[in-house]
Amino acid sequence: MLSPLILKKKRARISKGGNSPIIYLPTKYFSPDDEVDLELILRDDKIELILTKRLYKFTIDDIKEIVGKDFVIEYDKIVAGVQVFNAISGNISLSYTQSIDENTKPARITVSRLFDNVESREDYLLVFNLADELEKKGFDVYVEPIGDLDSLSIYREPKRYEFKDEFDAIQALRKTGKELGFSVVVRFDNEKNSIHEVKSALGELQLRHRVSP
């Protein structure tokens, strides 16, 4: 667990609004209609007012809990004020990146599955059908081709290289010993998304067996 980070400390004056005392809160973190936990504490000769609000819907600890022992943690460090975490299980990977300095920003999370043996047109369509299914369920998803620069160039512009379509380009590349993989990637951030959504995406990808065994 990270140590507390003091974002602001200053002496403030309570204002008057009608017949009520008012103190202005930092608008970066508090907005009208926000729900907060409030504690009023008497400590010796001081009265303390503590407002608590969750900035994000989940943290790195929640991510570590859902990956559990089924994943191998490849990277878990804080580098230059950025928390970076990456874990894999077979062809499935999960990454978590978040700035933890005073410029607090939501974490960026990706869950992905690599299909590395696309050998037929049916295999190719299965990858994109999976992405379409996830998109229809409300996930932010895209398909990323994986390969060397020449292979990616031919795949992305097949007609430029006199191929009928992307799959014809893939078949030609395979005949020359080059292969393309495809990664179905689902994106989240912990300000808009819940840990249940991340867990759901993991479940969807884990249900999918490799194409062309």
Asked whether residue 96 falls in the same domain as residue 139, the answer is: yes
113 and 151 in a single domain? The answer is: yes
Query: Residue 69: what pLDDT?
Result: 83
148 and 68 in a common domain:
yes
In a domain, 4, yes or no: no
Tokens 């939501």, located at residue: 106
Q: What confidence score (pLDDT) does residue 107 get?
A: 93
Q: Give CA 138 to chain center in angstroms.
A: 15
Is the residue at 79 inside a domain? yes
Checking if the pLDDT of 91 tops 70, the result is yes
| pLDDT, greater one: 159 or 185 | 185
* Residue 38 belongs to a domain: yes
Which pLDDT tens digit goes with each residue over 101-150? 755 789 999 999 999 878 788 888 889 999 999 999 999 999 999 988 98
Whether 1 is in a domain gets the answer no
Structure token pair of residue 56 = 């994000």
Supply the range of the domain harboring residue 24.
15-52
Residues 98 and 203 in one domain: yes
Quick one: 33 and 108 in the same domain? no
109 and 177 part of one domain: yes
With tokens 């062809």, the residue in question is: 91
Residues 78 and 133 in one domain: yes
- Residue 197 shares a structural domain with residue 178: yes
Tens of pLDDT along 168-201?
888 888 888 887 889 999 999 998 999 999 999 9
60 vs 109: CA distance, rounded Å? 10
**pTM of the predicted structure, to 2 decimals:** 0.78
Give the helix/strand (H/E) hosting 135.
helix 121-136
At 110, list the tokens: 């990706």
In a domain, 27, yes or no: yes
Total domains in the fold of the chain: 2
Strand order in the sheet with 72-79: 72-79, 82-89, 92-99, 108-115, 181-189, 140-146
